[in-house]
Structure 1
Amino acid sequence: MKLTKNRYITKSVAGMLAVLTLSVTGCKKFLDVNDNPNLPEEVDVPLIMPSPQAAIAHVVGNPFQIFGSIWGQYWTQSPYSSQYKVIDQYQPSSSSFDRPWGMLYNDALEDLQIIISNKGQEKYKQYAGIAYLLKAYDFQLITDAFGDAPLKDAGLGDENLNPRYDSQQEIYDSIFSYIDQGLALIDASSAFAPGSEDLVFQGDMEQWTAFGNTLKLRAYLRLSEVDADKAQAGIAALEGQPFLTVDAKIEYSTTGGNQNPLNAEMIGLGRTQNLVASATAVNAMKALNDPRVLVFYRPIPGTTTVTPIPQGSFNTTPTVTICTPSYIVGARASDPNSALAPVKLISAAESYFLQAEAAARGWLSGNAQQLYEQGITASFTSYDVDPGTYITDVVAQWPAGMDAQIEAIITQKYFAMCGNQGFEAWTEWRRTGYPTFFVRSEASVLGAGLFPMRMLYPNTELTRNSNFPGIKTITEKVWWDVE
């Protein structure tokens, strides 16, 4: 598809809502008109804004959620169905990643580039600021999943069908640059802030500033093991800046086509319940008497019992009633309430845990233990769960030493992200090695001690891009993963 301004035409507000169509076939543009000379040339930026947000959320909330939550051992394949067996076996095909790659590049990135190209107009400056931040977020998803990827040649549409690949280190440098450019454009007092077309914060530019700072903190911490000096310097520069205290998320409805993207896929699969509770996460939460286990998973009706199965044990005949993820995380196929589960781009809990880790490392001021406990509290609050004595009695024994503190922080971040930020949880495990209780999937085709460490390049790149740099195996680590 050629990237031209006349891909868009002015539509009514009611028509704009169509961008939230998050079905199995993916998130589509308002209207693809190609080069019809009868349509206007002017780009209406407010009508474009929801499209890249919805595309990014679709990837985060559907394919990356499924892969991340299975490889992060929150969920496993049900013995009574088969849709995700290859994920539990650690042998997905490259074609499994065609759709998320295409949505992050062809859908989200091209739209963001169009918005950014209009940054010279005062009425679109706040939109461009948001677009820069989402561009940084989009590229972090891409490079954390796949490693090296097209950067300088990206977003050119038909102008370059064979983009060259850039190193992951260079992509991260650009992520920081995009965040800086976005923050420089944001003005909370602007009279031209977006409204409801901003699906994340509805035009609250102070929240977008906090989002940018929190995203930068996340990105710098990703470099903690590969370039600690750079990470420390970058985080120190964030001193005194605001971070997220609310979830950056997109809400959904039960209206057809506007459901949570994972729920939409389940509907497309005839509401078959493929995803069930993994013993890895459930047993770890039970060991701490974590009341969230009854929220993230659906207990056996009439009880407070959650029965999981071992990771990858779908070939074993179950002897118990297997519990499933709950509608709260959009993963209960038969429950219509799954449609309402939000997709979290960055959660308030994650924001506090990021700050806690930076403080524990001595890279950011603040009380690491207090921030750690605020992260746990934010997770409970997000799901309206009473923590009881969980914080005061179970996890209040703050360990001595930085390494032990980081392990505690990342482990609690893992629990908070159960089923709602699966990709990020799996990614943090790759970076830090925490939590330490992951087990080898019983269905694994990999050798002993081997786990998935990246997603595969999509088949579309292998077969169509003459500059494709070569196949990577699923066990090859990405640049920042040196643990």
Structure 2
Amino acid sequence: MRAKHIFNPKKLLLLVFIGVVGLSGCKKFLDVNQDPNKPGTADPNLLLPVSQVAVGTVVGNYFQVYGNIWGQFWTQGPSASQYRSIERYNDANTAFDQVWNRIYTKALINAQLIIDSKVGGVEQTKGIAYLTKAYTFQLATDAFGDIPVGDALQTNNLSPKYVPQAAVYDSIFTYIDKGIALIGVANAVKPPGSQDVVFQGDMAQWKAFANTLKLRAYLRLTNIDAAKASAGIAALYATNPVFLTKDASIKYSTTGGNDNPLFSEIVGLGRPQNLVASATAVSQFVANNDPRVVQLYVPVAGTTNVTSLVQGTFAQFPTAVVSTPSALVGASPNNAQSALAPVKLISASESYFLQAEAVARGWATGDVNDLFAKGINASFVATGITDPTIAATYIATAKDGQTALTAAASTEAKVKAIIVQKYYAMCGFQGFEAWSEYRRTGYPDFLIISKAAPASTTVPPRRMLYPNSESVSNLNFPGTIALNVPVWWGKKN
């Protein structure tokens, strides 16, 4: 049953095919992706969208569901049952087999094939592949902790060794630096162009992505290795970096099976109302008079009211009428516009909040109040609220607005104000990242234990389980680690 959580791989292949310009035929494309033992024979520019879309499927479907439920933007709906085990914190390790497989055998192996390719003139494509490796390994290690890295992408190695999370992060920084060097190669003979489904070959945007990803990764270390985090951020800022001011995202369409991966799953399940609004997030939006709430959730028919359930109370209210997440985030069952929802790898609002935190901690230069406001503004625009006066009013009057930041008497209080606003901005769009930031910082501090969890539960999940496939096939499997055990960087809370 749990396999239903995963995006249909046939649609993944269709999506990549449609998204790539200049392919001579679907069969040729599939052939490219089926021979990982001959990296010299594969066209890197054809492998690139395969890797990118696999990442989009992980972020936009599997991790989207877990992140938004465990981050308490969404909860299991009372009229359906697909995600009850997630809400109860009792998923079996078999539930994680397919996402692990998608990470390693789709996203990462194709990125590695690009890097290993003997085709000339594709330096920029190889640079993107390194950045894809960095991004994907961060996803994997933030979810599971220690993971296989170097020898995991050797196709004949069935038992790759697990690497401590600290070393995984060292690899992430190395991959980012290699990516930056290669995307900076001018006049590439074979640039990726429109076969790059994230930035369509715009290397300036990829440079901004690399800088933003590096900032995100260093900030993840704040509670476990502050010295390394501060030194890394100082070195980054010494390069006069440009950060993202637009979303790094994968866009979808309503035709040809190329829809948003979460919506594709919803349709495949028969459009049940599995995902509904969580009172944890909705109550905060309401308390702040936040106009984004009716953009992110669907008001009850005939009203302007967003209704919600206390996290995990689906069994207590079997007939409740509850708002669903909106089409804007790809999760409205009966709105075909959900198919168009982009999958955001890093958003513009996240970029501004990352910079704001670095400044608040004294590790970077800049105007923390301006960056904070820009993060909120970017989020409002992303939800379709483009009138700047609406965002300005919210910033000036909301309880968690500018006052929360300017009144903060300590660095920790400033960080809290920033992370809380980042949480609101990530609602529905970046659930996994919001959950990761909660695990790092303890903010927002209004999250609760799911009411469906066992009575003995004292903390929300701190990690995902290693998949069953690893426990039965990898001789170096480190053993099962419970959901409530923090990952390496998750010391706080």
What is the TM-score when the length of structure 1 is the normalising length?
0.92
Give the whole-Å Cα distance in 2 for the aligned partners of 1:226 and 1:439: 24
User: What's 2:317 paired with?
Assistant: 317
Q: Note the C-alpha offset of 1:109.
A: 0.9
Task: Decide whether aligned partners of structure 1 residues 197 and 172 sit closer, same or farther in structure 2, where only a CA change above 3 A counts.
Answer: same
Give the whole-Å Cα distance in 2 for the aligned partners of 1:461 and 1:362: 42
User: What's 2:488 paired with?
Assistant: 479
User: What's 1:390 paired with?
Assistant: 394
User: What's 1:117 paired with?
Assistant: 116
Q: Does residue 407 of structure 2 align to residue 399 of structure 1?
A: yes
Give the whole-Å Cα distance in 2 for the aligned partners of 1:71 and 1:466: 31
Match of 1:160 among 157, 162, 165: 157
Gapped runs of 5+ residues in structure 2? 1-13, 21-27
Question: Alpha carbon RMSD of aligned pairs, Å?
Answer: 2.1
Match of 2:182 among 174, 181, 185: 185
Q: Does residue 115 of structure 2 align to residue 106 of structure 1?
A: no
Q: Does residue 424 of structure 2 align to residue 423 of structure 1?
A: no
User: What's 1:11 paired with?
Assistant: none
SS of equivalent residue, structure 1 residue 112: helix
Query: Could you tell me whether the CA contact under 8 Å between 1:456 and 1:472 is conserved in 2?
Result: yes
Query: Could you tell me whether the CA contact under 8 Å between 1:218 and 1:354 is conserved in 2?
Result: yes
Indicate the larger mover: 136-145 or 448-457.
448-457
Alignment-mate amino acid for residue 241 of structure 2: Q
User: What's 1:4 paired with?
Assistant: none
User: What's 1:3 paired with?
Assistant: none
Query: Could you tell me whether the CA contact under 8 Å between 1:29 and 1:107 is conserved in 2?
Result: no
User: What's 2:30 paired with?
Assistant: 30
Indicate the larger mover: 457-466 or 425-434.
457-466
Q: Note the C-alpha offset of 1:121.
A: 5.2
Q: Note the C-alpha offset of 1:354.
A: 0.2
Task: Decide whether aligned partners of structure 1 residues 16 and 63 sit closer, same or farther in structure 2, where only a CA change above 3 A counts.
Answer: closer
Alignment-mate amino acid for residue 87 of structure 2: D
Task: Decide whether aligned partners of structure 1 residues 138 and 446 sit closer, same or farther in structure 2, where only a CA change above 3 A counts.
Answer: farther
User: What's 1:352 paired with?
Assistant: 352
Q: Does residue 475 of structure 2 align to residue 466 of structure 1?
A: yes
SS of equivalent residue, structure 1 residue 467: coil
SS of equivalent residue, structure 2 residue 381: helix
What is the TM-score when the length of structure 2 is the normalising length?
0.90
SS of equivalent residue, structure 2 residue 105: helix
Alignment-mate amino acid for residue 394 of structure 2: Y
SS of equivalent residue, structure 2 residue 151: coil
Query: Could you tell me whether the CA contact under 8 Å between 1:18 and 1:30 is conserved in 2?
Result: no
SS of equivalent residue, structure 1 residue 290: coil
Give the whole-Å Cα distance in 1 for the aligned partners of 2:81 and 2:33: 39
Give the whole-Å Cα distance in 2 for the aligned partners of 1:58 and 1:403: 35
Give the whole-Å Cα distance in 2 for the aligned partners of 1:42 and 1:317: 57
Query: Could you tell me whether the CA contact under 8 Å between 1:136 and 1:176 is conserved in 2?
Result: yes
Q: Note the C-alpha offset of 1:434.
A: 0.1
Query: Could you tell me whether the CA contact under 8 Å between 2:16 and 2:50 is conserved in 1?
Result: no
Give the whole-Å Cα distance in 2 for the aligned partners of 1:176 and 1:99: 27
Match of 1:227 among 225, 228, 242: 225
Query: Could you tell me whether the CA contact under 8 Å between 1:298 and 1:324 is conserved in 2?
Result: yes
Query: Could you tell me whether the CA contact under 8 Å between 2:111 and 2:133 is conserved in 1?
Result: yes
Q: Note the C-alpha offset of 1:320.
A: 4.8
Task: Decide whether aligned partners of structure 1 residues 36 and 412 sit closer, same or farther in structure 2, where only a CA change above 3 A counts.
Answer: closer
Alignment-mate amino acid for residue 331 of structure 2: A
Alignment-mate amino acid for residue 65 of structure 1: Q
Task: Decide whether aligned partners of structure 1 residues 431 and 36 sit closer, same or farther in structure 2, where only a CA change above 3 A counts.
Answer: closer
Give the whole-Å Cα distance in 2 for the aligned partners of 1:269 and 1:396: 42
Task: Decide whether aligned partners of structure 1 residues 423 and 95 sit closer, same or farther in structure 2, where only a CA change above 3 A counts.
Answer: same
Gapped runs of 5+ residues in structure 1? 1-13, 21-27
Query: CA offsets, 1:391-412, max 9 Å, x none?
Result: 1222121223211110010000
SS of equivalent residue, structure 1 residue 254: coil
Q: Note the C-alpha offset of 1:123.
A: 1.5
Q: How many residues align?
A: 460
Q: Note the C-alpha offset of 1:466.
A: 1.2
| Deviant stretches of 4+, over 6 Å | none
Query: Could you tell me whether the CA contact under 8 Å between 2:39 and 2:114 is conserved in 1?
Result: no
SS of equivalent residue, structure 1 residue 62: helix
Query: Could you tell me whether the CA contact under 8 Å between 1:62 and 1:261 is conserved in 2?
Result: yes
Query: Could you tell me whether the CA contact under 8 Å between 1:307 and 1:320 is conserved in 2?
Result: no
Q: Note the C-alpha offset of 1:95.
A: 1.0
Indicate the larger mover: 418-427 or 462-471.
462-471
The 5 Å alignment of 1:287-326 reads 287-317=287-317, 320-326=320-326
Query: Could you tell me whether the CA contact under 8 Å between 2:349 and 2:378 is conserved in 1?
Result: yes
Q: Note the C-alpha offset of 1:17.
A: 2.0
Task: Decide whether aligned partners of structure 1 residues 16 and 86 sit closer, same or farther in structure 2, where only a CA change above 3 A counts.
Answer: closer
User: What's 2:8 paired with?
Assistant: none
Q: Does residue 418 of structure 2 align to residue 412 of structure 1?
A: no
Give the whole-Å Cα distance in 1 for the aligned partners of 2:145 and 2:350: 23
Q: Note the C-alpha offset of 1:304.
A: 1.5
User: What's 2:43 paired with?
Assistant: 44
Q: Note the C-alpha offset of 1:444.
A: 0.5
User: What's 1:198 paired with?
Assistant: 196
User: What's 1:441 paired with?
Assistant: 450
SS of equivalent residue, structure 1 residue 237: helix
> Which has the larger share of helix?
2
Task: Decide whether aligned partners of structure 1 residues 409 and 337 sit closer, same or farther in structure 2, where only a CA change above 3 A counts.
Answer: same
Indicate the larger mover: 211-220 or 296-305.
296-305
Q: Note the C-alpha offset of 1:30.
A: 2.3
Alignment-mate amino acid for residue 252 of structure 2: Y
